[in-house]
Amino acid sequence: MRDSYSLKEYVQMILDKKFIPLTSHQRLWNALVKNDSLLKDPVLSNADFFKKTIDEYFRPAGKGYDVRKRMLVLVGPPGSGKSTFVQKLKESIIVYSYTDEGAVFRIKGCALNEDPLLAVPEAIRSKIRQCGIEVRGQLSTYNQYRLQQFQGEWENVQIERFYLSEAKRQGIGHFFPGDHYSQDQSDLLGSIDYSTITKYGSPSHPMAYRYDGEIQAANRGILELNEVFKCQRQLLYPFISLSEEGSYKISRQSPLCADEVVIGHTNETDLEDFIKEKNNEALTSRMVFIRVPYNLVLSNEIILYQEKLLNHDVSRLQYQALETLAMAVLLTRVKRSNQFPVTKMEKVMLYNGEKVEGFSRDDLTEEYQDEGMSGIEPRMVFNLLAKVCARDTDQIDAELLLEELEISLKNDYVLPLQEREKFLNAIEQARAYYHTKLYDLVLDFIEDEKMSDLDQNVQRYFQELSSETSFSKSVDSLMEMNLKHNRDSLREWLEDDLDNIRYSDLPDDYQRIFKRFTLKQIQVTEENFREQLYEYGLQQWKNKSIFVSDSMLDTIDQLMRSE
């Protein structure tokens, strides 16, 4: 495909079905289909909600349905990934514009990136329409004037291919709200070029205008509006007609046609304030709002943190360090269920794809529409990791990261006291989670290295159970009521062969009790237990990419003393 044609050649190429021109929504949808790895990008930790955005907005818009006439607004807390997602969309459509299918053409030298087909007469448009391509809108007065260079003959108009680029402001626009007293619509719409008025004789002359606003830059691509509802209301008025009709008005000229995907992002507070104003109904009716909460999937959160680390940081991270930190953060984001008897910890497990008996992920996600819209934001965690990893230390364990998170929360001037207490409680829950994981490692050691002790304790317990000896009572003290209630039935089931009963014959819950009991015995009887655990850890834990450390063993010591 060439980079330049006459408009006559371009039209013939379309009529011969050698090229299919795309609208901006079609181009972006095709780019997303082609870029099937987008949602697998680790920086998009909230992939489920971004997939929802693609399915609910970009798919129907790309197929030509009426939703293309709406501005998309992503609503979420700071750090939920809204701007990152939009950046990925821009990157996708930019890459696609370099392919033959995604090629974009404009009238040569056009500051508006205007679609060349707007220059063809109705008779030719009807032929193009028969190919399934609708040409919407009229040629701008700017290009009508330039058409005189070609003696008014549309066939002679020269067109050129251009490649979308944010750096060159070609097909990608980006608008930020500014000072309410100095910012005006010229940032979006361009402005009259007063230096050329003497040349062209009037400020209404189409050549006496600077077509350098963000709406003009974004034509044929994407316009991103940062913190859209922090803008002055009058700055948003052009989007009423731009969204619905694909046109907008500039000073002293007839409406200009534009074909662009408009994406804004905001937080819930700004959106609520905007909706309260009755004068904004015309704008809100032309918007599609999609919530973008914080990520709630543990494995995705861990990957997000890993992406922020340098290569040499990984070897310093101790067992469950990032996992525990991520757990603390996610516990601040999930809501306690009012419908199901499930803990917040169990909710995190379910959202992570783990099984929790009696519940499904779908049951819980339907309870709250706004779950994940509050909690600890990723940027606080990124700052924490940067601070800790920059230190000259060999080991970074879960306890250290939790302590640093506590310090960050206590020093946060913005965080309300009630929220701070809730977040600190989540840290304690995460610490208990980490201790359970550590304790399970020790119990694995007991099962692997002390099987004969386990078998002896199981046999002795069931032999002495009916006599209620001090030994059997010691084991009972570790059991919850439901296990005590079922033990007699278990004993009856095993009674025919009590002398030969083995640890492996027991259900999992009872196995854990006897591992705990045997561990308590060994703590008392074997002085070199820590050394045994260290040697075992060097061999067995290393196989699981778990590196034994003094800080880890110190925590284990404290846990066992508190048992």
Q: What is the DSSP string of 55-88?
A: IIIIHHHHTT-GGGGSEEEEE--TTSSHHHHHHH
CA atoms in the 13 A half-sphere facing the CB of 191: 8
492 Cβ partners below 8 Å, 6+ apart? none
Question: Which amino acid appears at position 224 of this protein?
Answer: E
> What ranges in 21-137 are assigned the alpha helix state H?
24-34, 47-53, 59-62, 82-96, 122-129
Q: Which helix (H) or strand (E) holds 265?
A: strand 261-266
Q: Do 356 and 350 meet the contact criterion of CB atoms below 8 Å apart?
A: yes
Backbone angles phi, psi at 232, to 5 degrees: -65, 145
Calculate the alpha carbon distances from 513 to 357, 443, 458, 472 in Å: 20, 10, 10, 12
pTM: 0.87
Calculate the alpha carbon distances from 110 to 160, 178, 223, 247, 285 in Å: 9, 28, 18, 17, 33
263 Cβ partners below 8 Å, 6+ apart? 71, 72, 73, 74, 86, 89, 222, 223, 224, 225
Long-range contacts of 266-270 (CB under 8 A, 24+ apart): 266/73, 266/74, 266/75, 266/227, 266/228, 266/229, 266/230, 267/75, 267/76, 267/77, 267/78, 267/227, 268/75, 268/76, 268/77, 268/373, 270/227, 270/229, 270/230
Helical packing angle, 529-536 and 550-562, nearest 10°: 130
pLDDT of residue 64: 94
- For tokens 């371009």, the residue is 10
Query: What is the rounded CA–CA span in Å between residue 128 and residue 114?
Result: 18
Q: What is the pLDDT along the chain (563 residues), one digit of tens a residue?
A: 899 999 999 999 999 999 999 999 999 999 999 988 887 787 787 888 888 899 999 999 999 999 999 999 999 999 999 999 999 999 999 999 999 999 999 999 999 999 999 999 999 999 999 999 999 999 999 999 998 877 778 999 999 999 999 999 999 999 999 887 778 899 999 999 999 999 999 999 999 999 999 999 999 999 999 999 999 889 999 999 999 999 999 999 999 999 999 999 999 999 999 999 999 999 999 999 999 999 999 999 999 999 999 988 988 898 899 999 999 999 999 999 999 899 999 999 999 999 887 788 888 888 898 999 999 999 999 999 999 999 998 889 999 999 999 999 999 999 999 999 999 999 999 999 999 998 888 888 888 888 999 999 988 888 887 788 999 889 888 888 777 767 767 766 666 666 678 899 888 888 999 998 988 888 767 677 778 877 777 667 766 667 777 777 788 877 777 76
pLDDT of residue 367: 87
Residue whose C-alpha is closest to residue 517's, from 553, 554, 472 = 472
- For residue 267 the two structure tokens come to 């937080």
Compute the chain's Rg from CA coordinates: 33
Query: What is the rounded CA–CA span in Å between residue 470 and residue 490?
Result: 20
- For residue 495 the two structure tokens come to 């009674």
pLDDT of residue 519: 87
> What ranges in 390-480 are assigned the alpha helix state H?
398-410, 417-449, 451-464, 470-476
- For residue 332 the two structure tokens come to 């601040």
Set out the domains of the chain in order of their start, with CATH numbers: 4-291 (3.40.50.300), 298-436 (no CATH), 441-562 (no CATH)
Query: What is the rounded CA–CA span in Å between residue 507 and residue 339?
Result: 30
User: If 0-12 CB within 10 Å is exposed, 13-18 middle and 19+ buried, where does residue 34 land?
Assistant: middle
3-class DSSP string for 459-479: HHHHHHHHHCCHHHHHHHCCC
pLDDT of residue 58: 97
Residue whose C-alpha is closest to residue 514's, from 552, 487, 541 = 487
